[in-house]
Structure 1
């Protein structure tokens, strides 16, 4: 039962200032999804948790909107973020609407599943409901330059798929088995969240293929074409307030190029980290390039 005093004050405010504008908290989910670390930037549960809490604690909240532009990444981090959003939505009894921008693929589409509804642009890239891992084999290369590889381990599978050893068929099958389990988990999430809205052949939807925003809507992977402003105004009126949360950043840290996990008092050499940061940037670029972005 509502507090009589609070109810009176709310009525008084409405009489004096008019009905308050509906508020939609906006969360930007941009970039590759990764566990994070000093030299690895990306979306992860640890960094996003405060933003998610802030969004669902917004005063006068009518809905939470997710702006997604992600080619995917870690399936674990994707699932954790999605689960947290759904838990908060249930706890606060607030609808969540997801909007795909350039791409919501693989783990990026998993994030979109946190929405009760999903919208995209006609040219958005949607889907990639599958699992992938890639690497290189350097066995012949180290033999040519006269390098001997020495590995010592306990456990006959500890050095599985070592890039400096001959590829083992049994190891490859084991990796495929793990991929299959993760793929089934992903497919289960899609079935659970999209339900009867899925319209296309399951073999096509779950093939790992990607689709334009238009085709994704035909397959039931999204609920329509639209952008955040037009859809939220359509739903809550022209006076709806879109409040972006979680983008407060230390000006000094930004100018120095420091990530959230880096400290001004760190004793690590900048040169020592340069290689790792470059490799991380190259890896991220490859993930985006898979979708022509």
Structure 2
């Protein structure tokens, strides 16, 4: 009997020891998770505060005389970093600052929406007229094409590197045709519309000659608007405004663009600030996204946009 009692006590003691060990492991695991989360938050905050890409101004205080810099990077489109809302807001802030001696648009973009580009173009010209003492200079780094050049042509002068790619004054709209594929798969496309042309450009239906002609007229009209804006902005500086290939969508190096009158000189942001504006101190007025916005964009872009891309259709794009 005593042996059984001792065995029970031993088992109970062993059980308590095991339970205590499990609880301790759980506590350690919880604390481990807590400290990992805390470390992540700390690192994320440190990146937000100290990362150069997130700092609003660079190299100078806004209270001192400076050259205002506004970045136009990537696709020019609504909700993108180079949207009209962002760029126009930056332009107004730069012009309203009494310490601004000149504005540099630092461009590296393949173009984008003609609407967004037009908004920015118009605002640059309005602000130039309102603040005659503040000049605007476009500086193209790697790429200043299509809608990006549309914007640049509103500046007082355009500069580029000798190897920059400049121009691409044209309009494009792309889609796909899946009619043959659907026939092979034995799939019927059933579209119900009110309006004879409501489903025009549907990639799952055969093209109609009258609708293709109409869509081409839309692109031609947009192209004419683009050409008119460039001619208005560049004026007599275009060496040959009637050059057959100038507005064909071709793209040139900075050196070639200088010969054509598409740019006024070769240079960088720093050289323009120092040698043209006469104020080497730079302050960045570019609207910066919060780290959370950047993260959200990376993991979840617009569903509608992706659906349109999957369908193979996009609206007119200046390229």
Aligned residues: 251
> 4+ residue runs of structure 1 moved beyond 4 angstroms?
269-275, 277-280
The residue that corresponds to 2:130 in the other structure is 91
Label 1:154 to 1:273 Cα distance change in 2 as closer, same or farther (>3 A): closer
Q: Is the 8 A contact 2:165 2:253 kept in 1?
A: yes
Matches of 2:174 and 2:108, distance apart in 1: 22
Q: What is the distance in 2 between the residues matched to 1:278 and 1:164? A: 13
1:44–1:196 CA distance, 2 compared to 1 (3 A):
same
**Pair 1:160 & 2:200 matched:** yes
What is the aligned partner in structure 2 of residue 24 from structure 1? Answer: 67
TM-score relative to the length of structure 1: 0.77
Aligned counterparts of 1:124 and 1:283: Cα–Cα separation in 2: 30
Unaligned regions of 5+ residues in structure 2, if any? 1-62
Higher relative CO (Cα under 8 Å, sequence separation at least 6) belongs to 2
Q: CA deviation at 1:145?
A: 2.5
Structure 1 residue 80, shift from structure 2 partner: 0.7
Superposed counterparts of 1:105-124, under 5 Å: 105-124=145-164
Q: For residues 283 and 176 of structure 1, do their structure 2 counterparts lie closer, same or farther at Cα, with a shift above 3 Å needed?
A: closer
Higher helix share: 2
Task: Say whether the 8 Å CA contact 2:86–2:287 is kept in structure 1.
Answer: no
**Cα distance in 1 between the residues matched to 2:192 and 2:261:** 50
How far has the Cα of 1:243 moved from its partner? Answer: 0.6
**If you compute each CA radius of gyration, which structure gives the higher value, 1 or 2?**
2
Question: Residue 104 of structure 2 aligns with which residue?
Answer: 65
Query: Residue 296 of structure 2 corresponds to which residue in structure 1?
Result: 258
**Structure 2 SS opposite 1:118:** strand
Superposition CA RMSD, Å: 3.0
Which residue of the partner structure matches residue 176 of structure 2?
Answer: 136
Aligned partner of 2:234 among 194, 199, 206:
194
Structure 1 unaligned regions, length at least 5:
1-19, 263-268
Is the counterpart of residue 176 in structure 1 residue 227 in structure 2?
no
Whether contact under 8 Å (1:130, 1:183) holds in the other structure is yes
Report the 3-state secondary structure (helix = DSSP H, G, I; strand = E; otherwise coil) of the residue aligned with 1:83. helix
Per the TM alignment, residue 246 of structure 1 is displaced from its structure 2 partner at its CA by 2.5
- CA shift, 1:53, in A, is 2.0
